[in-house]
């Protein structure tokens, strides 16, 4: 047999030696080489692991590990957020060995959180390699604890993650292990340095259990979850080019509720949620509590009408609220429209765009109202709409006046005139600090008490970044809250409607804040818009 001893006495296959194959051996090799499925066949049939109880066993990937391998293989850039002790290192070791042996002239860099971590990964790769039959494994030209070089010109190099790791290397595949636990300044320096080397065709796999919500890992992960293009269409990968993969702790066959109970008692709920629940430690206070936010997922639209996404079809026995939060339409902030069904309090539609001019925004509101009217087969008596009238909203009010309010199906709802108010009445709703906080409180209560159904994945994403700021709430830097703002306007419209429509009142009041002030009758009659 063409074998030689490595530096530490372990048997390896000598490079450039002829190998005799029978027909079965050729078929096995062909299955391993297959560019579409070879990685999985190799992992399941030739990669051995050292089980802590059973000793040497063949790697038998769990369902989520097979999906993880598929993610590695089918996406150029991968970021994976996985529970502690979920076999992510073993899965990576199997794939990296397969990739090196069956892809010539590749440089694979393993960058680990600590030196011991880098050695652990290499040890698993070496163990798997040494137990492969010679008919499958490639010969080696260099073989030591920190690196492996194969006869096909490929090599695997392991190192501790520093600001200079990989500098000057031509990297084909980068694997970052427990990246969230690398010192933040080092992680940032490393990624800034290494990412340009991947631009010419390199691949990357970043894997970690979450740590904080502000480190480099968290930033890349969150960007991988931003899968919506400017038109609101969901993509398979994030806008940063990364495919994000995660798995739940209970996908591991040896973990159940009883196991979780014991583990929570041992390490505490907060640590359990981070290490096994894959929750970031959120230092900012979100409007909606983090537990509830983690359960919000959203659904795919049932229909797209232009840029308006519909999550249900209007019916004549329901009431509909349409809220427009205008924007300049010059590429900055988004204009947004939310559509809610009452008294079910389901979000059934939304629209968002940042390059649509104000006149077109109003026309879209009108089109939405017309669509609801057509679906309900009535004259629009079950439709109530309004606009936010601060600054930019003045432009929308002028467009509505010129268009003719009567040409928009339904009734325009305006905030009640407060007793003693001396200013001239304006259509729509004016947002102040107090009205925003009141609307935020109502939205929070409605969502957390399961009285309001949010169907939009984009809105869910915005809510996860809608955090306390001083005595109010706003989007975190770099994030958007335009759909949330339209949602808050919807809350204010509903608050007015609840004192006018008994059907609305019954549901809305269950989660309302119980304000001492009782709003007067809402104003539906036309008033000149200034």
Give the domain CATH number at 435.
3.30.420.240
Label residue 422 by pLDDT band (50, 70, 90): low
Flag whether pLDDT at 5 surpasses 70: no
Residue 24 domain-assigned (yes or no): yes
> Cα separation of 404 and 398, whole Å?
10
Classify residue 286: in a domain, yes or no. no
| Structure confidence by residue, pLDDT tens digits, 385-395 | 999 998 898 99
Structure tokens at 358: 């104000």
DSSP states along 334-347: PEEEEEEEETTTEE
Q: Does residue 32 have a pLDDT over 90?
A: yes
In a domain, 55, yes or no: yes
Query: How crowded is residue 442: how many other Cβ atoms within 10 Å of its Cβ?
Result: 23
Contact indicator for 335, 327 with CB cutoff of 8 Å: yes
Asked whether 232 and 352 are in contact (CB, 8 A), the reply is: yes
pLDDT confidence band for 425 (50 / 70 / 90): low
The answer to whether residue 351 is domain-embedded is yes
Residues 6+ apart with CB under 8 A from 323: 337, 338, 339, 340, 385, 386, 387, 388, 486, 487, 489, 490, 493
In a domain, 292, yes or no: no
What percentage of the chain has pLDDT greater than the value 70? 89
Q: What is the domain-level CATH number for residue 105?
A: 3.40.50.300
Which residues have a Cβ under 8 Å from the Cβ of 102 and sit 6 or more positions away?
A: 32, 33, 38, 42, 138
Q: Same domain for 201 and 321? A: no
Going by pLDDT thresholds of 50, 70 and 90, the confidence category of residue 14 is confident
Note whether 203 and 307 are same-domain residues. Answer: no
Report for 108-122, 205-219, 311-325: range of highest mean pLDDT: 311-325
Give the number of domains in the chain. Answer: 2
Query: Span 115-135, mean pLDDT?
Result: 91
Instruction: Return the DSSP state at 368.
Output: H
- pLDDT tier for residue 527 given thresholds of 50, 70 and 90: very low
Q: Which residues of 217-251 are buried (b: 16+ CB within 10 A; e: fewer)?
A: bbbbbbbbbbbbeeebeeeeebebebbbbbbebeb
- CA-to-CA distance for 123 and 107, rounded, in angstroms? 18
pLDDT at 80: 93
> Based on the domain organization, do 198 and 330 belong to the same domain?
no
Same domain, 198 and 313: no
pLDDT band at 3 (very low <50, low <70, confident <90, very high): very low
Do residues 443 and 330 share a domain? yes
Mean pLDDT of the chain: 86
Domain residue limits at 397:
303-510
Quick one: 358 and 504 in the same domain?
yes
418: which DSSP letter? Answer: P
How large is the average pLDDT for residues 180-197? 87
Max Cα–Cα distance, the chain, nearest Å: 99
Together in a domain, 335 and 202: no
Q: What is the pLDDT of residue 202?
A: 92
pLDDT band for position 497 (cuts 50, 70, 90): confident
3-state SS class at 2: coil
Q: Is the domain of 22 the same as that of 147?
A: yes
Instruction: Look at residue 6 in the predicted model and tell me its pLDDT.
Output: 46
Between 432 and 197, where is the model more confident? 432
* pLDDT value of residue 199: 79
Q: What is the DSSP string of 8-65?
A: TS-EEEBTT------HHHHHHHHHHH-TTTHHHHHHHHT-EEEETTTEEEE----HHH
**Which of 505 and 447 is assigned the larger pLDDT?**
447
- Among 418, 430, 424, 381, smallest CA distance to 528 is for 424
Q: Which of 183-192, 228-237, 293-302 has the lowest mean pLDDT?
A: 228-237
CA dihedral 467, 470, 473, 478 (to 10 degrees): -60
| pLDDT score recorded for residue 412 | 93
Is 284 contained in some domain?
no
Whether residue 519 is contained in a domain is answered as: no
Do 9 and 126 lie in one domain? The reply is yes
Examine the pLDDT at 85 and tell me if it is beyond 60: yes
Q: Is 114 part of a structural domain of the chain? A: yes
Do residue 12 and residue 151 come from a single domain?
yes
Residue 167 binned pLDDT confidence (cut-offs 50, 70, 90): confident
């Amino acid at each position: 047999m063409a074998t030689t001893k490595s530096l530490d006495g372990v048997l390896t296959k000598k490079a450039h030696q002829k190998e005799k194959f029978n027909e079965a051996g050729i078929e096995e090799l062909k299955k391993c080489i297959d560019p579409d499925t070879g990685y999985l066949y190799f992992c399941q049939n030739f990669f051995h692991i050292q089980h802590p109880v059973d000793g040497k066993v063949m790697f038998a990937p769990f369902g989520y590990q097979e999906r993880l391998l598929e993610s590695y293989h089918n996406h150029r850039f991968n970021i994976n957020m996985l529970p502690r002790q979920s076999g992510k290192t073993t899965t990576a070791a199997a794939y990296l060995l397969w990739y090196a042996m069956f892809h010539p002239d590749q440089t694979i860099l393993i960058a680990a959180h600590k030196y011991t971590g880098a050695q652990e990964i290499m040890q698993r790769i070496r163990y798997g390699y040494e137990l492969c039959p010679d008919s499958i494994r490639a010969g080696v030209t260099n073989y030591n604890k920190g690196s492996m070089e194969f006869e096909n010109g490929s090599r695997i190099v392991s190192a501790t993650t520093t600001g200079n790791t990989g500098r000057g290397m031509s990297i084909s595949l980068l694997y970052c292990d427990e990246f969230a636990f690398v010192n933040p300044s080092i992680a940032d320096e490393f990624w800034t340095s290494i990412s340009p080397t991947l631009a010419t065709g390199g691949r990357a796999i970043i894997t970690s259990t979450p740590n904080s919500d502000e480190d480099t890992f968290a930033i890349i992960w969150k960007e991988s979850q931003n899968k919506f293009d400017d038109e609101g269409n969901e993509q398979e990968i994030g806008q940063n080019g990364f495919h994000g993969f995660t798995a739940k702790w209970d996908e591991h066959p040896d973990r159940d509720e009883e196991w979780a109970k014991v583990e929570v008692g041992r390490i505490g709920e907060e640590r359990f949620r981070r290490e096994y629940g894959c929750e970031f430690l959120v230092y900012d206070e979100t409007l909606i509590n983090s537990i509830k936010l983690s359960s919000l997922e959203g659904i795919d639209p049932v229909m797209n009408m232009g840029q308006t996404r519909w999550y249900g079809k209007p019916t004549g026995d329901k009431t509909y609220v349409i809220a427009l939060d205008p924007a300049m339409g010059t590429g900055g902030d988004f204009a947004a429209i939310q559509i809610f069904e009452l008294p079910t309090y389901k979000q059934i539609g939304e629209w968002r765009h940042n390059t649509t001019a104000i006149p077109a925004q109003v026309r879209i509101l009108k089109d939405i109202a017309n669509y609801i009217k057509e679906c309900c087969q009535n004259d629009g008596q079950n439709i109530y709409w309004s606009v936010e009238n601060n600054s930019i909203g003045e432009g929308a009010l002028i467009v509505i006046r010129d268009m003719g309010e009567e040409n928009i199906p339904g009734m325009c709802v305006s905030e009640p005139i407060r007793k003693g108010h001396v200013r001239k009445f304006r259509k729509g709703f004016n947002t102040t600090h107090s009205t925003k906080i009141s609307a935020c409180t109502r939205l929070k209560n409605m969502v957390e008490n399961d009285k309001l159904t949010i169907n939009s994945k984009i809105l869910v994403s915005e809510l996860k970044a809608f955090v306390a700021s001083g005595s109010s709430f706003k989007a975190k830097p770099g994030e958007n809250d335009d759909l949330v703002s339209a949602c808050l306007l919807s809350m204010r419209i509903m608050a007015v409607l609840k004192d006018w429509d008994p059907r609305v009142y019954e549901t809305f009041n269950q989660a309302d804040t119980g304000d001492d002030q009782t709003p007067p009758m809402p104003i539906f009659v036309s008033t000149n818009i200034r």
